[in-house]
Amino acid sequence: MPVSTVLLLASIGVLSLFCQWLAWRVRMPAILFLLAGGIAAGPVLGFLAPEAVFGDLLFPVISLAVAIILFEGSLTLRYAEIRGHGKMVRNLIPVGSIVTCIIGTLAARWLLDVSWAVALLFGAISIVTGPTVIAPLLRSVRPDSKLANILRWEGIIIDPVGALLAVLVFEGIVSWGQGNVFGHSLYIFGKTLAVGFVIGAVAGYLNGIVLRKHWIPQYLHNAGTLTFMLGVYAISNELAHESGLLTVTVMGIWMANMKQVPIESILEFKESLSVLLISALFIILAARVEFAAIAELGWGLVAVLALLMLVARPLSIFLSAIGTSLNWREKLFLSWIAPRGIVAAAVSALFAFQLQKLGYESAGALVPLVFMLIIATVTLQSLTARPVARLLKVAEPAEYGFLILGANPVARMIGKALKKYEVPVTLADTNWENVRLARMENLQVYFGNPVSEHASTHLDLTGIGKLLVISPYKHMNSLATYHFLDWFGNKCVFSLAEGDQDQKARHQTAEKIQMTRGLFDGVSYAKLASLVSQGYTVKTTQLSEEFGYEEFLNKYQNQALVLFTFDSKEHVAPVCSMKDLKPEDDWILISLVPAQARKERKEKEDGEPSASQDQPAGQEPSSTI
């Protein structure tokens, strides 16, 4: 019984959503499940045949999707960020790209006997990793922050750089193929570069000016930019054959480096496109993979993959690390982590099709070769990265740190108290004054919306496993709660209570919000802020047999609010209910205490007698923040 086209299109959407959900559940890159789902639906079950479904529109659709992927990637390439992330990252981009491209090219040429054109293109494509495969792996492995930053920024920067290199190599191949003599081929290549760079720069500048001066309304920024980019891509291809990909890449880089252009709002549509368009794209691409084409590559395929993973990557790392402070353990770990991602798969499928049209017979080997590189690197490195990190002793301890939503005075006081005990703490706020003050107090802080697309690549959550919502921004509180309930789980998201009026006005979100765990005995942000304004301070107290929990409560006449406890195993936990709190004698309490504590401290500094001095020595070793 033939299957209708509508059912096939709907099935692609459902399968892509299932793969994304499965990747979220197991904390692995979604591309692995998308490729597996496409292979299962295509060559395994024979349910999906992309050529039959899309007909002549298949590769125009793929080319537009690739243009979107390259444009989005290039929007993240800021020159200042390349300069600002350490010598290792700056070295790794050019050195790693050159080494990987050379070894990949020579391996494909000599071991698989493909043409030099296909080998060069494979070498260029093989350098791309990308944040879509690096970020899930880092969340699972949790290497120390230095290594996590190197890998994350390498993925962010190499994504558009690698794509640009692949496009340039492809343009050179196409230009050479169109010319009968060297001079004519050089002319075609020069024309392609000129059209790509000039139109890309002009289009990026014009679009940046439109956004900066608000010549179109806010709600049209995303749709308008996407539509304009696709139009520029089509026009560029008309002026110079296959120059469109270079054009949109240059356009994105130009916009990313213009001042006062709201790039962040444009990047927000990337997540939706990834779930819908890009996820469906990879199922379609994987459905076209033929097992026979993979089998034809033989043992040469295994040798090429081994050279890239075991020779090219370590050589790139050790050469790039010359002059840095990385030790041999850190270098070995970085040498093992280099999963290939979305750009590699999409670009290889499109370029292979174009090369086949130009008469390159070995171009058919490009897609299975790149897809097997993706599958091998993502699978092997995702499964082994955590034990390798533990073996090399470069893994962070358990995710016991806190992301605090808010950098207000209350949040800063709590952050300093936790930092005193070396608990990883990151504050996030959209108020610049709060962020500035937090930085002056030497607290790690993120300026912006922690649930934005920008935060997904720039907010460092290494060692962070819990969320504390300590913010007066009710709308952002709800968004962060929804987002991090899925990210951390409902046992690791804590939020302050809301006032009675707020609860009544927002009862529709109660079911979701109730999944979070209440903070600090059910007090609201307004109540905490009021206590701080009255002179309450954050104080740490070491309990003992002589000075237990009951003595602590009596000392402050039951007015102290216990915020956190450290047990005998140094596990830190927010206090949800003081009624249920039963600390042991060797625990440490972090509490919000009345102004009496400050008065006692001043009297002690002045040498005057105080209530605490009348108690036996060592009764309450504590400090006030």
What dihedral angle (degrees, nearest 10) is formed by the CA atoms of 380, 19, 341, 55?
Answer: 130
Which of the listed CATH numbers 1.20.1530.20, 2.70.50.60, 1.25.10.10, 2.60.120.560 matches domain 5-392? Answer: 1.20.1530.20
Cβ-in-10-Å burial (0-12, 13-18, 19+) of 605 comes to exposed
- Considering only CA atoms, which of 281, 267, 196, 266 is closest in space to residue 235? 196
Can you give the pLDDT at residue 613?
A: 35
For helices 366-391 and 131-141, give the axis angle rounded to 10 degrees: 20
**C-alpha distances out from residue 198 to 165, 243, 459, Å:** 17, 11, 34
**Do 278 and 69 meet the contact criterion of CB atoms below 8 Å apart?**
yes
Question: Cβ atoms within 10 A of the Cβ of 512, count?
Answer: 13
d(CA 491, CA 619): 34
Residue 501 confidence (pLDDT) above 70: no
- pLDDT above 80: residue 313: yes
277, 100 Cβ separation under 8 angstroms: no
What are residue 469's phi and psi, to 5 degrees? -95, 100
Rg (CA), the chain: 28
- How do 464-469 and 401-405 pair as beta strands? parallel
Judging by beta carbons within 10 Å of its beta carbon (0-12, 13-18, 19+), is residue 400 exposed, middle or buried?
middle
Mention every residue, 6+ apart, whose C-beta is less than 8 A from residue 576.
494, 517, 518, 519, 520, 521
Q: For residue 151, how many other CB atoms are within 10 A of its CB? A: 25
CB atoms within 10 A of CB 157: 23
Question: In this structure, how many other beta carbons lie within 10 angstroms of the beta carbon of residue 489?
Answer: 12
Choose the weakest-confidence range: 31-45, 106-120, 577-591. 577-591
pLDDT of 500 higher than 90 = no
pLDDT score recorded for residue 609: 42
Q: Quick one: average pLDDT of 194-220?
A: 87
Structure tokens at 534: 């009255």
Residue 62 amino acid letter: I
Q: Residue 223 has what DSSP assignment? A: H
Name every residue whose Cβ is closer than 8 Å to that of residue 418 and which is 6 or more positions away in sequence: 402, 425, 564, 572, 590
| For range 283-301, the mean pLDDT | 81
Please state the rounded mean pLDDT for residues 45-71. 80
- pLDDT value of position 508: 43
3-state secondary structure of 241: coil
> Distance of CA 280 to CAs 18, 21, 33, 57, 423, Å?
11, 14, 12, 15, 41
Residues 6 or more apart whose CB falls under 8 angstroms from that of 306 comprise none
Q: Which two tokens stand for residue 59?
A: 């590769």
Structure tokens at 74: 């290039």
Q: In the chain, what are the domain boundaries?
A: 5-392, 401-499+513-593
Residue 204 in 3-state DSSP? helix
* Average pLDDT score over residue span 553-575: 76
401-499+513-593 belongs to CATH 3.40.50.720: yes
Contacts with 490 (C-beta within 8 Å, 6 or more apart), sequence order: 515, 516, 517
- CA separation, residue 266 to residues 311, 395, 548 (Å): 39, 35, 55
Mark out the alpha helices in 58-144 (DSSP H runs): 58-74, 79-83, 86-91, 97-112, 116-125, 131-141
Distance between CA atoms of 47 and 575, rounded to whole angstroms?
A: 54
**The predicted structure's pLDDT at residue 591:** 81
Lowest mean pLDDT among 237-241, 243-247, 608-612: 608-612
Query: Cα–Cα distance between 112 and 299 in angstroms, integer?
Result: 9
Which runs of E-coded beta strand occur in 195-304? none
Residue type (1 letter), 31: I
Highest mean pLDDT among 165-179, 294-308, 359-373, 574-588: 294-308
Identify the bridge partners of residue 624 per DSSP, sorted by sequence position: 539
In the predicted model, is pLDDT for residue 509 greater than 50? Answer: no
Distance CA 43, CA 293 (A): 12
Q: Cα–Cα distance between 615 and 438 in angstroms, integer?
A: 36
Task: Reduce the DSSP state of residue 360 to 3 states and report it.
Answer: coil
Dump pLDDT digits (tens) for 446-497: 888 887 766 766 777 767 778 888 888 777 777 778 777 777 777 778 877 7
- Express each pLDDT in 401-446 by its tens digit: 888 888 888 888 888 888 877 788 888 888 888 888 888 888 888 8
Q: How far apart are CA 94 and CA 17, in angstroms?
A: 36
Output the pLDDT for position 449. 80
Q: Which helix (H) or strand (E) holds 386?
A: helix 366-391
Q: Which two tokens stand for residue 502?
A: 């707020």
8 A C-beta contact, residue 287 and residue 350: no
| pLDDT score for 293 | 76
* This prediction's pTM: 0.65
Lowest mean pLDDT among 221-235, 304-318, 407-421: 407-421
Q: Is the pLDDT of residue 50 over 50?
A: yes
624 pLDDT above the threshold of 60: no
Round to whole Å and give the CA distance between 31 and 340.
10
Average pLDDT over residues 354-375: 80
CB 556 within 8 A of CB 575: no
| 513 pLDDT tier (thresholds 50, 70, 90) | very low
What is the average pLDDT score of the chain?
77
Listed residue (598, 595, 471, 574) closest to 528, CA to CA: 471
